Structure formats: structure tokens, C-alpha cells
Amino acid sequence: MSDLVSQLMRSWTDLMDWLYGMFFQQEMDLSILGLPAAGKTTLVTLISRNEMIEDRIPTRGLNMQKYSKGGVTLKMWDLGGQANFRAMWERYCVGASAIVYVVDAADSEKFALSRSELHDLLSKPSLAGIPLLLLGNKSDLPAAVKSEKELAEIFDLASLKGREVCAYSISARNRTNIDITLQWLIAHSSKKS
């Protein structure tokens, strides 16, 4: 009986999501950035296809994958992290609803470089005011910094003024905190019809 009730509730929620989507469809462009091997493509593939990719294939240039729920479609622009691709990060962030900056929270040797790339990017006047979500990925690894407060300190997020800023500890591999990540993106991205 309770199975039937929960199934009916799910169908009702799906119907409401679909109806809402028919009338209030919104599309958001998200730029997913970070140093090589931070886990950007892994995360984006998990969100859009619910698949965990194991092969390490560095992104050359960019690729785009979508995720839709209810009336919201997230267009996730996954940009390559190698030095020669970083030059185009700014171009793909202009006009974005939010910037998602992924760091390998277990690779402390790269924190300084990752922080300076983040701050260089966000100092561009063309990107003023765009919300930032910093994701400390690979929380499944023992060496990972898992405290969100510590991540915010390491990446000096307090100095970023004039925009929404948040940090979450996640694991794309273990699917940890992916739900709150999606909630933040949907709630904090500026709305575009």
C-alpha cells in the first residue's frame, strides 16, 4: 500500500515538473573550469548521463553536456584545464549564469596554482558578479581536504567580493554531495528564458 502511495507521489511530482517545464522553461549556461584532472568531465558526465567514466581522456578544447529537471536545463560547458586551453576560459564564462570551479582536493601541491588561476580569471571585469561555486572534488580519497571552511580559506574565497560564492566538498566517484551541488546551481544561477 505504501509502495503504491509513494509511486503515486512520484508520478505526481514528475507530472508537476513536466507541466512546470512546459510553461517556465529556463536555460542556464554554466562554465565548468579547473586544472587538468580535477574531475570536471567526470562530474559533468555523472550529472548529465548518470554514468561514471573511468578512462582518463583530457578534454581538448571544450565539450557541452545538458541536464534538465523540471523547468530548468543546465548547459554545462566543460572546458579543458591544460595551460593552452585556459586562455579561452574567460571567453566561455562571459554571460554564464554561474562558474563552477573544480579542484582536486587531494592534490595539495596544485592548490597554489589552482587558486591563482581562479583569482586571475575572476579579476576580469567582463566576469563581474557571476556566481561562483567551488567544488573540492575527490573527497573519497584519504588525502582530500573535506572541510568546506578549509577549502574556502585555501582558495581565499573571502576576498572575492560582489558575487555569490560557495564551496562544497564532493566526490564525483562516490556521488557525494551531487544533489546539493545541483540544488545550488538551480537556485543561485541567474534566470534566462
Ligand X SMILES: Nc1nc2c(ncn2[C@@H]2O[C@H](COP(=O)(O)OP(=O)(O)OP(=O)(O)O)[C@@H](O)[C@H]2O)c(=O)[nH]1
Grid cell in block for residue 13: 511530482
Among 29, 31, 71, 80, binds ligand X (CB under 6 A): 80
Among 16, 51, 58, 153, binds ligand X (CB under 6 A): 58
Among 17, 21, 26, 36, binds ligand X (CB under 6 A): 36
Residues 6+ apart with CB under 8 A from 47: 65, 67, 74, 76, 178, 182
Cβ atoms 167, 148 nearer than 8 A: yes
**Smallest distance from ligand X to CB 61, Å:** 10
99 lines the binding site for ligand X (CB under 6 A): no
| Residues 179, 185, 191, 193, CA torsion sign | negative
82 lines the binding site for Mg ion (CB under 5 A): no
Spell out a b/e string for 56-85, using b for 16 or more CB atoms within 10 Å of the CB, else e.
Answer: eeebeeebebebeebbbebbbbbbbbeeeb
177 lines the binding site for ligand X (CB under 6 A): no
Grid cell in block for residue 49: 548521463
Chain positions 1 to 60 lying near Mg ion, rule: CB under 5 A, are 40-41, 59
**Smallest distance from Mg ion to CB 35, Å:** 11
Tell me the window of 9-17, 136-144, 161-169, 177-185 that interacts with ligand X (CB under 6 A).
136-144
| Residues found near ligand X in the complex (CB under 6 A) | 34, 36-42, 54, 56, 58-59, 80-82, 137-138, 140-141, 171-173
